[in-house]
Structure formats: C-alpha cells, structure tokens
Amino acid sequence: MFNLTATPYSLDAAAEAQVRQRVSDIEERVRLLRRAGTLTDITLRDFYGQKRFEEVAESNALEGSTLSAGETQLAVMKGITITGHDPAYVKDAIALNKALDRITELAKNRDVPTDIDQVRQVNELILGDRPGAGLLRKEAVIISGSSHRPPATWDGVMRGMEEWERWSKANKDLPAPIRAAILHAWLTHIHPYLDGNGRAARAISNLELIRAGYPPIIIKKKERDRYIDALAESDVGGDIRSFMELVFARIEGSLRGLELAAKAKQGYDQLAQKIRERQEALLKVWDTSVRLLASSIELHLSQMVDSVGGRCSVRIYDTPLDIEDFIDVCEGRPASHSWAFTVRLEVPGLPRVEHLAWIGFRGPQMKARLNNEGGPSVYWSHRNPVGYPKWLADKNNSPFAVEMTQNIGKGDAWTVMKANGDIVHPQLNDLSRQIAEAIAAEASLRDGS
C-alpha cells in the first residue's frame, strides 16, 4: 500500500487497487516502448524540445495568457513583444521557459527526491523580479472560485511544506505517476507563494515524470474546468481520485504522442497538410454539433420541469477533442476520456439525476452502418455513487441513446443507436427532446434511497 496518512488525501482499498492497476498498465506500456527502442533518452529529449513551447503556452494559458504555442516560441527565442497581447505574457513565457530549463537539470539527479528548495528555485524563476519570488508567503490568500482556505500564516505555510517534503522523501520509490499527482495537488492545496503556485505545481509534476524517464505532460487550457474541479475535490474532501485520473490520462496521451513523434516522417508534405486542414474543418463542425445538442437538451429539460420548480443545468466543456484526439477516435483509439458536457436535473422531492456525455470512437455496429467509416461518437456515463472512478458508463441504461454520432459534413441528422440495438436518424431537435424526456422520466422513476 502507498502511504497517504500524512497527506490531505485518502483512498479506500477498492480505489487504491484500481489506481495501482492503472499505474501498472502505464508502467507496462513504458516498458514495452523502451523494449521496442522507441522510448530512448534521445527521443525523450527531442520530444520534450518539440513540446516545450506548447507546455509553456498551455500552462500560462491556465493563468490567463493569450499567447499561442507559436507566439510563445517567438517570444522566448526572440524576446519580443507580440502585437495584440499583454506584454506581461511575453515576460511570463520567458520566465516559465527558464523554470522548465531548471526542471530538466534537476531531473538528471534521480537520487534526490523533490524538496522545498527545488520548488523554491522553480517559483523564483517563474516570478523573476516580481515581489515574493521564491519566498513563502506571510499573509492569507483566497483562491478564486474555491471554498478551500490555505494556511493563513508563514508558520502554517512552513509546516505544510515541511509535511509535503517529509512525505516526498519517505515515499521516493513510489511510481512517478502517483508522486506527480499527489505532489502537484498538495502543493496547490498549501498554496505556499503569493503567485505562481499553479505553474510551479505543474512544473513539479513534470519534474517527477522526467526524472523517472517519462515524457512531460501538458494540461491544456481546454481542460481548465476539469482541472480546477478535480483540484477542488481534492482540496475540500481529500478526494484525489479525479485528479489522479486526469494526470494518468495526460501521461497516456504523452506516451501516445511520443510514439507517434518517434515514427513521424521528417519534412513538409503538401498533401498531408491539405488532409490535416480538412480534418480540422470536420472537427470544428463536430464540436459545434455537440454544443448545439447540449444546449438543446438544456432547453427542453428546463421547459419540462420549470412548472414543478425543477432546475436543469448543463455544463459544456471547452473543446473536448483537439485535432490529435479527433484523429485518434477516427482510427478507433480512445481520446483520454474527453468530456463533452454534463447534464444535471434537480426537482424538489425527487432524486437528482446527473449524466456525463463523453466522446469516444464509434462502436462496431455504428461503424458498419456508416460504410465502415471511423469517427467520434457521444456516449453517456452517470456519477459513481461509491468510489473510483468518478463516472461509470451508462451503456444500456443511457438516456434514450447508448451511442450518438453524425456523418460529419453530410447533413444535420444524427445517427443514434438505442439500447435495443435499433439505429435511427433523428434531427437535432427530436434527438434532444427524446433525451430530455428520458432524463426527466429517470428522475420521476428513480428510487430515492
């Protein structure tokens, strides 16, 4: 068992067994990559170099920066202000790049566990000449949008960091994915500095991974809501399962990207570029269709329950698929649990109903119906009432449809498979209405116990 007693977190035996299995699967994948000669130290360094500016851009974007990866590279390499952006974002990009340079140096020493001094060095480089760089804060802070209150005094911050360091040293032999998740979440929980805590925590996660021979991970701006929600769950209730799941999914994504990068052809391919542009256009159509579906479900549900004091809320996640994810699902590979939207229905006196719509690849029946073409499909999950993972697949208990897809670019109709295996082709309004009716019926029929 891995020891969480000295941390703010806990896992029951079943959840711990699932986490260990997930990590074991990741470690086996790394072993196989190394055996095949794909995951070499040289490949890792090359991949990290290719992804560096994306990592800087996305980490800073979580804090509000508007620079793209290309603009970040220009800012770092040339040190020039990018027209149309706050000059401070250029400064932040240069500073975080220096901090990540330091991370790669620290990672070379695999015998020294991550400690307070290493975090201090990272935060000092991130903040540069700003007040408080590398200094533990002496006053209380409020984390925007969170009910968690970090330690309010220097003594409290110092005690928290000393506990964090003791755990890091005592558990130095734990698998890197587990350490990356716990040290990251715990650091943001303590919030030891006046600024730069999130960027420092994400850098420390990658220090753990790079030190153990993994590629770095990138938590993207599109995942900001999921990232913040998972950290909030770990802060308030000590429930770190969702955050671990996010970190593990990003590790799997990095391993997949590394494998593709190692096999990629060099040089510009005009035909491949045109195909890529077409894929991006299809992805944009798909993303718009899914958003329209979510909004239409919300409209129908709200109309159904307004008269009885009910409330429907739909949360749409930002760009659940990027272009790499889209290509993966079209080729029949998973896309790291890409969340599309959640639907929550609350009616006075009735049990709450909550579903997550997520995107995966088309199942065999759906694919056969659509001329054996691969593509994305929407599936349903419900909140797990006990334990890990947070969401469980609905399958045949899905609201109206177990799988929904579109023949992208060939009309507005959806292709939908129902629980009995029938495949129908409703228009958007009919599909969203039938889903809304199924969710409303679920609330009225569910046993509240």
Q: 12-36: per-residue pLDDT in tens?
A: 888 899 999 999 999 988 887 777 6
Boundary of a domain, candidates 197, 229, 263: 263
Query: Does some domain include residue 305?
Result: yes
Asked whether residue 131 falls in the same domain as residue 243, the answer is: yes
What per-residue confidence (pLDDT) applies to 36?
A: 64
| Banded pLDDT at 5 (limits 50, 70, 90) | confident
Work out the pLDDT band at 43, boundaries 50, 70, 90: low
Which residues, in sequence order, are bridge partners of residue 403? 417
**Mean pLDDT for the stretch of residues 166-185:** 96
Predicted confidence band of residue 270 (pLDDT cuts 50, 70, 90)? low
Give the C-alpha separation, 141 to 145, whole Å: 12
- Residue 251 shares a structural domain with residue 275: no
Strands 414-417 and 423-424: antiparallel
Residue found by looking up tokens 């929407």 in the block: 378
Please tell me the pTM assigned to this model.
0.77
Cα four-point dihedral sign 220, 128, 93, 82: positive
At 345, give phi and psi (nearest 5°).
-120, 125
Q: Where are the beta strands (DSSP E) in 80-229?
A: none
Whether residues 59 and 204 fall in one domain: yes
9 lies in a domain? no
Residues 276 and 239 in one domain: no
Looking at the chain, the whole-number percentage of residues with pLDDT higher than 90 is: 65
Same domain, 240 and 288: no
Token pair of 367, please?
Answer: 């694919």
CA gap 212, 231 in Å, rounded: 24
Please give the residue that has the higher pLDDT: either 95 or 50.
Answer: 95
Are 74 and 111 spatial neighbours (Cβ–Cβ below 8 Å)?
A: no
Measured in whole angstroms, how far is the alpha carbon of residue 303 from the centre of its chain? 33
* Within-domain flag for 54: yes
Asked, for residue 56, whether it belongs to a domain, the answer is yes
**What pLDDT sits at residue 34?**
74
**Is the distance from CB of 47 to CB of 261 less than 8 angstroms?**
yes
1 part of a folded domain: no
Residue with tokens 């994915």: 177
CA-CA distance, 72 to 58, in Å (whole number)?
10
Residue 162 DSSP code:
H
Give the CATH number for residue 185: 1.10.3290.10
Cis peptide, bond prior to residue 389, ω within 30 of zero: yes
Percentage of residues of the chain with pLDDT beyond 70: 92
Domain endpoint, select from 202, 236, 263: 263
Is residue 298 assigned to a domain?
Answer: yes
Hey, what are 268's tokens?
């510009």
Same domain, yes or no: 316 and 352: yes
Q: Which of 152, 213, 203 is nearest to 180 (CA)?
A: 203
Q: What is the distance between the alpha carbons of residues 32 and 36, in angstroms, rounded to a whole number? A: 6
Indicate whether 7 belongs to any domain. no
Tally of residues, the chain: 449
The total of structural domains in the chain comes to 2
Q: What is the pLDDT of residue 48?
A: 67
77, burial (CB in 10 Å: exposed 0-12, middle 13-18, buried 19+): exposed
Answer yes or no: is 3 within a domain.
no
Q: Which amino acid is at 290?
A: V
pLDDT over 70 (residue 257): yes
| Average pLDDT value for residue range 159-177 | 96
| Shared domain check, 239 and 312 | no
Residues 232, 342, single domain; the answer is no
Q: Which long-range contacts (CB under 8 A, 24 or more apart) does 308-313 make?
A: 308/347, 308/348, 309/347, 309/348, 310/345, 310/346, 310/347, 310/348, 310/443, 311/345, 311/346, 311/347, 312/343, 312/344, 312/345, 312/346, 313/343, 313/344, 313/346
Structure-token pair, residue 252 = 């799997």
Is 312 found in the same domain as 254? no
Which amino acid, residue 99?
A: A
Helix axis angle, 197-211 to 176-190, nearest 10°? 160
Instruction: Please identify, among 241, 263, 285, the residue that sits at the C-terminal boundary of a domain.
Output: 263
Q: Does pLDDT of 445 surpass 70?
A: no
**Contacts from 361-366 at CB under 8 Å and sequence distance 24+?**
361/328, 361/329, 361/330, 361/331, 361/332, 361/333, 361/334, 361/335, 362/329, 362/332, 362/403, 362/405, 363/403, 363/417, 365/417, 365/421, 365/423, 366/403, 366/405, 366/415, 366/417, 366/423
Contact (Cβ atoms closer than 8 angstroms) between residue 318 and residue 342:
no
Residues 233 and 183 in one domain: yes
Let me know whether 230 and 361 are in one domain. Answer: no
Mean per-residue pLDDT over the chain, rounded: 89
Per-residue pLDDT tens digits for 59-112: 999 999 999 998 999 989 888 888 889 999 999 999 999 999 999 899 999 899
Q: Between 41 and 369, whose confidence is greater?
A: 369
Q: By the 8 A CB rule, do 379 and 357 touch?
A: yes
Q: Say whether both 113 and 211 belong to one domain.
A: yes
pLDDT band with cut points at 50, 70 and 90 for residue 37 = low
Determine the pLDDT at residue 67: 93
Type and span of the H or E element at 190: helix 176-190
At 262 the pLDDT is 57
Which residue segment(s) compose the domain that 363 sits in? Answer: 270-445
Residue 261's pLDDT is 61
